[in-house]
Amino acid sequence: MSVASSRHFLQIPGPTNVPDRVLHAIANQTIDHRGPDFAELALEIFDGLRAVTRTSGEVVLYPSSGTGAWEAALVNTLSPGDGVLMYETGHFAQLWFDLAVELGLRPEILPGDWRTGADPAAIARRLRADAEHRIKAVAVVHNETSTGVVSDIPAVRAAIDEVDHPALLMVDAISSLGSIDLRHDEWGIDVTISCSQKGLMLPPGIGLNVIGTRALRAAESAGSRRSYWDWRPLLEAGRKGYFRYTPPTNLLFGLRESLAIMLEEGLDEVFARHRRHGAATRAAVRAWGLEVLCADPATAPGTEHSGALTAVLLPPGHDADRLREVILERFDTSLGAGLSKVAKKVFRIGHLGAFNDASLLGALGAIEAGLGLAGVPHRPGGVTAAIAELTGGADVP
pLDDT exceeds cutoff 50 at 196: yes
pLDDT digits (tens, 9 = 90+) for 136-149: 999 999 999 999 99
Closest CA to 78 of 168, 165, 140, 159: 168
pLDDT exceeds cutoff 70 at 364: yes
CA angle 161, 306, 146 (to 5 degrees): 95
Per-residue model confidence (pLDDT) at position 335: 98
Per the prediction, the chain carries an average pLDDT of 96
In the chain the domains, ranked by start, together with CATH numbers, are: 9-16+266-390 (3.90.1150.10), 20-262 (3.40.640.10)
Per-residue model confidence (pLDDT) at position 3: 56
pLDDT exceeds cutoff 80 at 376: yes
pLDDT exceeds cutoff 80 at 172: yes
Mind giving me the DSSP string for 65-110? -HHHHHHHHHHHH--TT-EEEEE--SHHHHHHHHHHHHTT-EEEEE
324: confidence class by pLDDT, cuts 50, 70, 90: very high
